[in-house]
A = this chain, B = another copy of it.
């Protein structure tokens, strides 16, 4: 059976009320708070249908209704309109992000901003190395048999590793090596480097061959293979909002999941600029079956270099959260483009 308009209105009203009050909503309260134009009895009939279809459920026989994950999904897909940000929020975002001195700074400010506006847990991925291009590779001699290689990416990320050299190099040899690697790798995407690095080794003059091998091994191992993603997290205290009602009193599994970078990356590592919503059970991580995640990709212009998002109880203000995440992602992208 297909749901008629009024039933959808009822579902929308239930979601809105439940999100606002955190209490199961009954037929009488519903007609009082919304202009549905029908009596409680009618609403009850509609509710029975909605329950049969799996969009709402009763915690106990004599209680009101609560949306199911499926109900939230329908709400998000068809019943809600994206809430425009208030001018105050808009200004807050702008003010928060200007004056960042540093990529680290941008990321930290962003994650705190997101947590503060949405009042939920915020996660921001650093621009992915795999989607960055090399702007410069610097070799800094630490001792005669050790150099620190510093890679600066176009996204502002800076990564460094120490490389142990098989043979000592003098100053001019380091300079040559620096020139060669930069000529070869500058401007290329990090994910495309393996063949370039190979070429670098092949073309290196004999006396630098061994050093080049050591250098390229480190580069490939640390930057490409274990491709070094990073994330920032803020707002975990917001999980305690709403007392023990959300998450049936146990933050444990959620806090555990949030400590795993791999999991966070899976949640917010977006490839597309689309705002994505994962509701409760739709989530792949078992520990997070009671939460919803709203995430979006960001990047300068149209390319996406990383993801960011927000995690909260399934009972969340989806329209508001979606709007905020989307807006913040856009602003961060602009921030990066200026760089």
Contact = CB atoms under 8 A, between A and B. Distances in A.
A158 B239 CA distance: 34
Interface string A152-174: 10000010111000000000000
Contact of A239 (B101, B150, B255): B255
A244 B160 CA distance: 43
Q: Which of A158, A235, A244 has most B Cβ within 10 Å?
A: A158
B236 A252 contact: no
B259 A235 contact: yes
A138 B151 CA distance: 12
A148 B140 contact: no
Contacts of A101: 161-162, 222
B222 A237 contact: no
Nearest to A240: B252
A234 interface: yes
Interface of A is mostly: mixed
B237 A161 contact: no
Interface in A219-233: 222
A74 to B, nearest CB: 33
Contacts of A276: none
Q: Size class of A's contact patch?
A: 20 to 34
Given A101-B161, A138-B150, A140-B152, A259 B236 contact: yes
Q: Which of A135, A136, A236, A258 has most B Cβ within 10 Å?
A: A236
A41 interface: no
A36 interface: no
A335 B142 CA distance: 17
A249 to B, nearest CB: 8
A256 interface: yes
A129 to B, nearest CB: 14
Contacts of A240: 250-252, 255
A203 interface: no
A53 to B, nearest CB: 36
Interface string A118-148: 0000000000000000011010101000001
Interface string A92-106: 000000000110000
Contact of A150 (B150, B162, B234, B252): B150
Contacts of A236: 236, 255, 258-259
Contacts of A162: 101-102
A234 B255 CA distance: 10
Contacts of A148: 136, 152, 158
A150 B152 CA distance: 10
23 contacts: A101-B161, A102-B161, A102-B222, A135-B142, A136-B142, A138-B150, A140-B152, A148-B152, A148-B158, A150-B150, A150-B160, A158-B158, A234-B259, A235-B259, A236-B255, A236-B259, A237-B255, A239-B255, A240-B250, A240-B252, A244-B244, A244-B249, A251-B251
* A-B interface, 10 closest residue pairs, ranked by CB to CB distance from nearest: A237-B255, A240-B252, A237-B256, A158-B160, A236-B255, A136-B140, A240-B251, A138-B138, A138-B140, A150-B150
Given A136-B148, A150-B150, A237-B259, 5 more contacts: A101-B161, A102-B160, A148-B158, A237-B251, A237-B252
